[in-house]
Structure 1
Amino acid sequence: MSIRLGNSCINCENLLEGNTCKVHGVKVGNSYTCDSFEMKAALKDDTNCITCVRYESSDCANPQKAAPGMSCSHWAPQNATA
């Protein structure tokens, strides 16, 4: 089974302010998705050490090299909010 971070209501064009779906008219969260899902045209492009959940933690893959502005293949988002 594939895991897709971007395939949730948080990254859907139908998400309104207050986490309300404009298609279904209900409050949704970041684990929701549906058949009416429409991916936002662009996501934030700030994938670097500062926005990584592993930055300055014990599970950082490169603790001696991690620095602001740097990125690596082990990057994981701190949050997935719109």
Structure 2
Amino acid sequence: MAIRLGNNCQNCENLNGDNTCKVHGVEVSSHYTCDQFEMKAELKDDRNCTTCLRYEREDCANPTHAAPGMMCASWAPNRASA
């Protein structure tokens, strides 16, 4: 199963820091989306061992090679943010 960004408020440039929508003026969450959705211009794409959920855990696919700055095909986000 592939992981994809959703067209939701967390990825929308109209989201304020206090989780209110600049367009509608209401409090929203990651479950909301609307026709005025505008994708944030820049998403963080920092995929390496230190941002991997499995880094330094038993379920790491490459425990003897894993190191800061390295990437692998088994990377999993330790936190998703845009």
After TM superposition, the score normalised by the length of structure 1 is: 0.75
RMSD of equivalent CA atoms:
2.4
Matching residue of 2:43: 43
Q: Does the 8 Å contact 1:48/1:68 carry over to 2?
A: yes
Q: Which consecutive unaligned segments of at least 5 residues does structure 1 have?
A: none
Deviation of the 1:3 alpha carbon: 5.1
Q: Which consecutive unaligned segments of at least 5 residues does structure 2 have?
A: none
Q: Does the 8 Å contact 2:12/2:38 carry over to 1?
A: yes
Q: Which residue type is aligned with residue 9 of structure 2?
A: C
Query: 1:60, 1:32 → 2: CA distance?
Result: 33
Q: Does the 8 Å contact 2:48/2:70 carry over to 1?
A: yes
**1:1-82 superposed matches below 5 A:** 4-82=4-82
Aligned residues: 82
Moved over 3 A (4+): none
Q: Which has the higher strand share?
A: 1
- Aligned identity (percent) is 69
Q: Which residue type is aligned with residue 15 of structure 1?
A: L
